[in-house]
Structure 1
Amino acid sequence: MVFRIFGVVHFVCVGLMLFSGGCKTEVPQGDQAAEKDDGFVALLNGADLTGWEATGKAKWTVEEGQIVGTQGENNAPGDLFTTAAYSDFELITTYRAEWPCNSGVWFRFQSPKKAYQADILDYKKPPAFSGTLYCPGKMFLARNLDKGLENRAGWNTIRIVTQGSKTKIWLNGTQTADVDDDTTDSGKIGFQVHPGAKFGSMKIVIKEIKIKEL
């Protein structure tokens, strides 16, 4: 592994390429607020979207205990956010997608211009695959260049650890981002459904999402 520091930006090579770059306001109600032995709290109760709120016109439902997101009418986009905001935490999300897909896990989301996203996508120019770290206005802070890290036919796990200005991301156990950036230090967690006919058949399914505040 090669690790170089230029100011506050980290560049890491581990078989892929990385370009690097508290406060909970309310607690979700119901089963998702139950503490686990490992310190994680489930944000999905398996029954409904209690503790979540939708923006835009995408469709968000709970099916067989899982969150399902698809485009709305006329390929309309949308997002689903927690009603609570979080600062420093470890977040684990298990998902699967129907492709072509452009989605992701929002975190520290304050506004469409002030947020981070662990991407779920297949981007062409520049190349970037799921596990990439995106920041509005700065584009990709870290790119995953290894398409094979993701199981396109099944379940995948994104792990995010963010504390202070430091953020790390893992996809299925392989680190894809190690970034020092201070765009936002707290905000909501959420999921995205992208607009456009190209992604008309996309579906994002969330089987598990749990958080441990640091």
Structure 2
Amino acid sequence: MVQRTFLIVLMALVMLVVLCGCRDSSDDGAPVAADTPGGAVKLFNGNDLTGWEAEGGARWVVEDGLLIGTQGENNAPGDLFTTAGYDDFHLTVTWRAEWPCNSGVWFRYQGPDKAYQADILEYANPECYSGTLYCPGKMFLAMNTDKTLVNRDDWNTFEIRCEGDRSQIWLNGRQVADVRDDTTATGRIGFQVHAGGEFGPMKIVVRDVLLEEL
């Protein structure tokens, strides 16, 4: 009887050790392999801003597993960037916005004058919507003119693929940009909160940021 009890206790201890050893590696805040084909990694861990750095006066917080960006005091703008830079990649970002909104996903960002952005906006002149490809100094390299592609009150998904001088963007499964341009071939990935009182109520909410290097 004593020997049987000892074996039961021993087996319980072994199971406890195994379970502790199988904890989710995302607990340490570092980017982790995502459960997606091709070796994509989660740039946003859902817990905190590890691997990211803020510039400017916007406010960036993590709440309930979501990354949220809003204007700071006096409608202050700002950006949030990865600490690492990337060359060729396939990026998937799931986001939603509270409108009116002027935001976007920066990529191959080297500075405010040398970068690309997949816009999150509603622009009047010329008329274009989220998914439009913006480049500082060159304005819009490609425009999404179909507002029906945007889920204004729900989640949206950008896919951004960069190879060499080619940049492609898909919004909710529909391709909205396919451009060759050599402004920048490498740089950080980030999010923008634009200045302006007219955008004061805006909120950009990000659920997933998955990147596969090519």
TM-score over 0.5 for the pair: yes
- The answer as to whether partners of 2:30 and 2:50 remain within 8 angstroms in 1 is no
In the other structure, the counterpart of 1:73 is 73
In the other structure, the counterpart of 2:9 is none
Q: Say if 2:171 is the partner of 1:144.
A: no
In the other structure, the counterpart of 1:22 is none
Q: Say if 2:178 is the partner of 1:159.
A: no
- Give deviations 1:128-167, integer Å, cap 9, x for gaps: 1000000000000000000010000100000000000001
- Counting helix residues as a fraction of each chain, which structure ranks higher? 2
- The answer as to whether partners of 2:52 and 2:83 remain within 8 angstroms in 1 is yes
Task: Output the CA distance in 1 between the equivalents of 2:167 and 2:90.
Answer: 10
In the other structure, the counterpart of 1:13 is none
Gaps of 5+ in 2: 1-27
In the other structure, the counterpart of 1:172 is 172
In the other structure, the counterpart of 2:115 is 115
- Counting strand residues as a fraction of each chain, which structure ranks higher? 1
In the other structure, the counterpart of 1:33 is 32
Partner secondary structure for residue 31 of structure 2: helix
TM-score with structure 1 setting the length? 0.85
CA displacement at 1:34 relative to structure 2: 2.6
CA displacement at 1:32 relative to structure 2: 2.3
Partner secondary structure for residue 125 of structure 1: coil
TM-score with structure 2 setting the length? 0.85
The sequence identity of aligned pairs, in percent, is 64
In the other structure, the counterpart of 2:7 is none
In the other structure, the counterpart of 1:99 is 99
- Give deviations 1:78-132, integer Å, cap 9, x for gaps: 0000000000000000000000000000000000000000000000111110000
Question: What amino acid is aligned across from residue 208 of structure 1 in structure 2?
Answer: D
CA displacement at 1:189 relative to structure 2: 0.1
In the other structure, the counterpart of 1:189 is 189
Task: Output the CA distance in 2 between the equivalents of 1:33 and 1:52.
Answer: 14
CA 78–154 in structure 1, closer or farther in 2 if over 3 Å, else same: same
CA displacement at 1:36 relative to structure 2: 3.8
Task: Output the CA distance in 2 between the equivalents of 1:36 and 1:184.
Answer: 30
Q: Would you identify which runs of 4 or more consecutive aligned residues in structure 1 move more than 2 Å?
A: 29-37
In the other structure, the counterpart of 2:90 is 90
Task: Output the CA distance in 2 between the equivalents of 1:167 and 1:75.
Answer: 31
CA displacement at 1:195 relative to structure 2: 0.4
Partner secondary structure for residue 67 of structure 2: strand
Partner secondary structure for residue 46 of structure 2: coil
Task: Output the CA distance in 2 between the equivalents of 1:180 and 1:36.
Answer: 31
- Number of aligned residue pairs: give it: 186
- The answer as to whether partners of 2:142 and 2:179 remain within 8 angstroms in 1 is yes
In the other structure, the counterpart of 2:4 is none
Task: Output the CA distance in 2 between the equivalents of 1:31 and 1:138.
Answer: 35
Gaps of 5+ in 1: 1-28
Task: Output the CA distance in 2 between the equivalents of 1:82 and 1:182.
Answer: 22
Task: Output the CA distance in 2 between the equivalents of 1:83 and 1:153.
Answer: 31
- The answer as to whether partners of 2:105 and 2:117 remain within 8 angstroms in 1 is yes
Task: Output the CA distance in 2 between the equivalents of 1:127 and 1:165.
Answer: 26
CA displacement at 1:69 relative to structure 2: 0.1
